[in-house]
A and B are shown apart, each in its own frame.
Chain A
Amino acid sequence: MQILRQTNLEALEKARALGPEGVIALLGKRGLEGRGGAAYPTAKKWKACRDTPSDERFVVCNADEGEPGTFKDKLIIRHNAETLVEGILVAAYAVGAKRCFIYLRGEYDYLRPRLQEQIDDVLARAKMEGVTIEIVRGAGAYICGEATALLQSIMGFRGNAMAKPPNPTTQGLWGKPTVINNVETLACAAQAVLFDDWDPTLRLFSISGNVKNPGVYEFPLGVKMSTIIDVARPEKKLKAMSFGCFGGIMPVDENMLVTPETICMEKCQHGAYSIIFIDETNNVVDVAYSIAKFYTYESCGKCTPCREGTIRMLNLLKKVRTGKAVRKDLELLRELATHVQDTALCGLGQTCGNHILTSLEHFPKDYEAYMKK
């Protein structure tokens, strides 16, 4: 796997030789894009931060990997943390930051002691004057994976999402320019700086669900779905696949070429390449119900469409599952999901109806099976 290649502080050495602007130019040339979901060019983000006049800048590593079905950043923290830490230092050098943070989700707290050792070790060897990396311990809030909420959380507030602009890149922690990248992006940054043969098309896929070989796999963008299914080895006939929670529940198309466009079409944001396979023994409504529960639980409650909408969508699905729903309820469900998506403040709210809209569209029979006769 490319993501496991170690940089052994040589990326930082090369960065120092290139100078901050040289590093940013090189990353632009290599074509590194953010791996958290939005696929924003990393070089552009770093440059915007560097070019914003300020006496202080920050680098934040988003290790709040909370999207259900996603566990690739955990693999990096476990097996190539040195390269991740080096990526943070390369970012700090490129944008001119001294204080860096790793926001580690509370559910991964058991990884913290070893990660701390590795941070201390790399920092001691890197000899970057005045640069610190501090782990901030998340405490169970999915919304904190969203950049503005994450910054609120680091500053000691409730993790509420904030309206953008201002963008964190120009006005982030304590109002200062702040680069936020996720774990995979920062590890890739170190590798992209150092290795001339670094391949920008490789992505980490988190595969789980009703399959014999779940796990993290590295595939190039555009990989055929049948290749992924061959590796994952379902035991029974597959019925559906869910791209994380926000990507919606889709029929399995073996000929699909997996790119951001095919995963999400125009309907939602690019994904972090998590696929949960669902076989024919399951009713898709049950999966949609577990996703609806997730959104209800994780809505931060700041904006009304998401706070109220997630609860009502869950209640309607509950009605469906208990056989009390009539056709009008499905229409209401569809309308509600569309409305919440159109009016919610942040990415969570804007995607929290995807599983409902897609399952209603593609699996009407599963709903039918629960309907009031």
Chain B
Amino acid sequence: MANENGKKDARPLLNILHEVQEQHGYISEHMLKQIAVEQGIPIARLYGVVKFYTMFHTEPQGKYMIEICGSPSCVLNNGMRLEKFLENEIGAGIGETSKDGMFSLYKVSCIGCCDEAPAMLINGEPHTKMTVERLRLVLAKLREAEAKKADEGKKK
């Protein structure tokens, strides 16, 4: 089994990448270079790892990451309707970010919420038994919270 640069005593690389992404929103070229030096991994190999895992992003993402579940259980429970609604509502397709930078939309394989279908993850938190109505409310709340934050930012 190949283990060149797969360091045994180092912290798991995936955990390091997750933490960098949580802090910066994505893994930039600059960060890639820094991790490569710190971990002693060739940057080409590191880039290959980052690109393999769908949860890592090398481009800036929206403030809220919406991951719609595409499992058969969700599809059988009107999951497709949510997908169409979301695309219209935020004005971005699967794999895209809305113009206002609020939402990035992704479709993922199965998030393991099949007993509460249809489901999606919003910034990693499960939202289950979703309907168009409930989704509308969730989006409105998120937009409201962001607007409030922006207002407070201005006052300071």
Contacts and interface: CB of A to CB of B under 8 A. Distances in A.
- Are A and B bound to each other? yes
A74 B126 contact: no
A355 to B, nearest CB: 9
A137 B18 contact: yes
Interface string B114-136: 11110001001110000000000
B112 A74 contact: yes
A276 B115 contact: no
A210 B76 contact: yes
Nearest to B125: A110
Nearest to A70: B112
Nearest to B46: A156
Interface size class of B (residues with CB under 8 A): 35 or more
A140 interface: yes
B21 to A, nearest CB: 9
B143 interface: no
B12 A137 contact: yes
Contacts of A278: 72, 76
Given A68-B110, A134-B12, A298-B109, A208 B49 contact: no
B55 interface: yes
The CB with the most chain B CB atoms within 10 A, among A155, A171, A210, A298, is that of: A155
Contacts, number: 149
A136 interface: yes
A242 B93 CA distance: 29
Interface residues of A, number: 63
A159 interface: yes
Given A71-B114, A156-B41, A208-B114, A141 B75 contact: no
A294 B17 contact: no
A325 interface: no
Interface stretch (B2-10, B84-92, B96-104, B144-152): B2-10
B12 A151 contact: no
Contacts of A139: 14, 17-18, 53-56
B111 interface: yes
Nearest to B6: A155
Contacts of B71: 68-69, 290, 294
A215 B111 CA distance: 14
Contacts of A252: none
Nearest to A101: B12
A162 interface: yes
Interface of A: 65-71, 74, 101, 105-110, 134-142, 148, 151-159, 162, 166, 171-175, 206-210, 214-216, 242, 245, 276, 278, 282, 286-287, 290-291, 293-294, 297-298, 300
Interface of B: 1-3, 5-8, 10, 12-15, 17-18, 41, 48-49, 52-56, 67, 70-73, 75-77, 108-117, 121, 124-126
**Nearest 6 A/B pairs, CB to CB:** A156-B13, A139-B53, A208-B114, A155-B6, A68-B110, A140-B55
Given A107-B111, A137-B14, 13 more contacts: A66-B112, A68-B71, A71-B113, A136-B14, A139-B56, A141-B53, A153-B14, A158-B49, A159-B52, A206-B114, A210-B77, A278-B76, A294-B109
